[in-house]
Amino acid sequence: MSKVGFIGLGIMGKPMAKNLLKAGYDLVVYDITSGPVDEVVAQGAARAQSSAEVATQCDVIVTMLPNSPHVKEVVTGADGILEGAKKGTIIVDMSSIAPLVAQEVAAAAAEKGVEMIDAPVSGGEPKAVDGTLAIMAGGKQEIFDKVEEMLLVMGGSAVLVGDIGSGNTCKLANQIIVALNIAAVGEAFVLAQKAGVDPEKVFNAIKGGLAGSTVMNAKVPLALEGNFKPGFRIELHIKDLQNALDTAHGVGVPVPLTGNIMEIMQALKVDGHAGDDHGGIIQFYEKMAQVQVRK
C-alpha cells in the first residue's frame, strides 16, 4: 500500500494515526486544528493543507470525524476528498455517523469512481491508543479485503457486517448497549452506596458473575475515583443516540430504553457535564439520590 491519508486527529483519530505510523505506514494528515497535526507530523507524518490535498497524494484515506455533516463536508464539499481523489481511491470512514448518510456519501464517491467503506469503532480512547479497537465495517468484500490489514493495525478485530451503512448500524446497536449498560451500573452502584455497602466490594463481588461486563470493568474503577475525564464524551454519545433514535424510527423500531437514557444524558448536558466521559452518567443518579459513589 502506498501513502495513506488520515483526516481528523481528535481524541480517537490522533492515536489511531500514530499507530499507523508505528506500523510503518507512509502517512499524510490533515485536521482543521493545527496542534494535533503538529504532534503527528513530529512523529513522521507529512502535512496537507486540505482534504483535497490529502486525496491527491493517497490511494487510501481514513476519516475520523465528529458526525454526519462533517463527513459530508470533508468528502463532498469544497476542497474535499472528491476534488482531489483519483479513480480507484478508497475512503475508509471510521466516524460514527447515520447509516443513510454513509450510503449517500458512498454514492457520491462512486460517481467519481471512488470506493468507500464505513468502519466505525468501539473501545474509546484507551483502545485507540493501544490499537485494540473493535471495528465494524460496511461495504464491498473486495474493498474491505484491501484495507483489512491496515484496519487491524488500529483494531483488535475488524468485521465486515454487510453493505455500506451496515457498519454504522452495527455501531448504533453497540452504542445503545453501552449507554444502557453504563446507566444500569450507575443505578446499581448508587443504590449500594446509599444503602451503606462499600461499592468497591460490591464491584469485586459481582464482576465475575453474570452482571460483569467490559463496561463495568472499565467505568466503575474510574467512578470510584471520581474520574470522569473523557475517553468518550457524553455529548458525543448523545450524537450517536440521536442517530440511533432517527434510524430506529425510520425503520419502525420502538426503542424506549434508548429514549430514556437519551433524556438522562440531556439532563447531564444541561447540568454542565456534556464534556465528561460517558461513565459520568452515574452522576445523574448520584444527584437524584444525594450521594456520591466513591471508595
pLDDT tens per residue, range 252-268: 999 999 999 999 999 99
pLDDT in tens, 146-180: 999 999 999 999 999 999 999 999 999 999 999 99
pTM: 0.93
**How large is the average pLDDT for residues 114-136?**
96
Q: What percent of the chain has pLDDT over 90?
A: 97
The overall average pLDDT reported for the chain is 97
Apex 19 CA angle, 15 and 20, nearest 5? 120
**How large is the average pLDDT for residues 59-82?**
97
Buried b (16+ CB within 10 A) or exposed e, 242-278: ebbbebbeeeeeebeebeebbebbeebeeeebbebbb
**How large is the average pLDDT for residues 271-280?**
98
DSSP-derived secondary structure letter, 59 = S
Top pLDDT among 108 and 2 is at: 108
pLDDT in tens, 193-242: 999 999 999 999 999 999 999 999 999 999 999 999 998 899 999 999 99
Q: Is the pLDDT of residue 88 over 90?
A: yes
Is 171 among the catalytic positions? yes
User: Which candidate in 18, 171, 219, 239 is catalytic?
Assistant: 171
Q: What is the pLDDT of residue 1?
A: 56
| Cα 109 from Cα 86, distance rounded (Å) | 11
Domains of the chain: 4-163 (3.40.50.720), 169-289 (1.10.1040.10)
Single-letter amino acid, residue 149: E
Q: What is the pLDDT of residue 41?
A: 98
Q: What is the pLDDT of residue 2?
A: 72
